[in-house]
Amino acid sequence: MSDPAPRGTETILLVQPDPESRTLAAFMLTRLGYTVLEAHNAMEALKIHDERGGGVDLLLAELRMPRVSGQELAEVLEARASKLRVLFMTDADYARLARRIASQKHVSFLPRPFTMRVLAEGVRSALDQPVRPKAMAAGNLL
């Protein structure tokens, strides 16, 4: 018998331009006990974050998005929220780029597509990491 998937109660800001992928990931995360805030792009994510006054434990963002990348969004949010952890996701075509960015920025990377268990383990691992030093980005790049 396998161990149950790791769960949590933290708040996750999920940023994914594809509505089907976003809905599926949000469903899985909610089933795992997390509070999920959904955004379809970086501008919406910033608005949600600011309206809540922060209070986000993890940014789970698509690395490649139109106009503003997940990496750029993470830099802005980290400048505003010192305890934010980051987990990037992207499809296999961009996995090499994502791994390089993740290692340079000391963040985690989750390849898509993923199962509920892989998502659960990736999110829990990212949340359990120590908070990394605050980004050098100005909080108003967008």
The 10s digit of each residue's pLDDT in 71-113 is 899 999 988 887 899 999 987 666 666 566 666 666 778 888 8
Q: Which residue has the higher pLDDT, 82 or 6?
A: 6
Say if 122 falls within a structural domain.
yes
Calculate the alpha carbon distances from 112 to 36, 46, 83, 127, 136 in Å.
Answer: 19, 24, 26, 19, 29
The answer on pLDDT for 140 being more than 60 is no
- pLDDT averaged over the chain? 86
Structural domain tally of the chain? 1
* H-only helix segments in 1-142: 19-31, 42-51, 70-80, 95-105, 116-128
Across the range 26-43, mean pLDDT stands at 98
> pLDDT value at position 141?
47
Q: Tell how far CA 24 is from the center of its chain.
A: 15
Query: Do 47 and 23 contact (CB within 8 A), yes or no?
Result: no
Is residue 139 classed as helix, strand or coil in its secondary structure? coil
Q: What is the pTM of this model?
A: 0.86
Domain CATH code at residue 91: 3.40.50.2300
> pLDDT value at position 90?
83
Say if 107 falls within a structural domain.
yes
Residue numbers of the domain that contains 93: 40-128
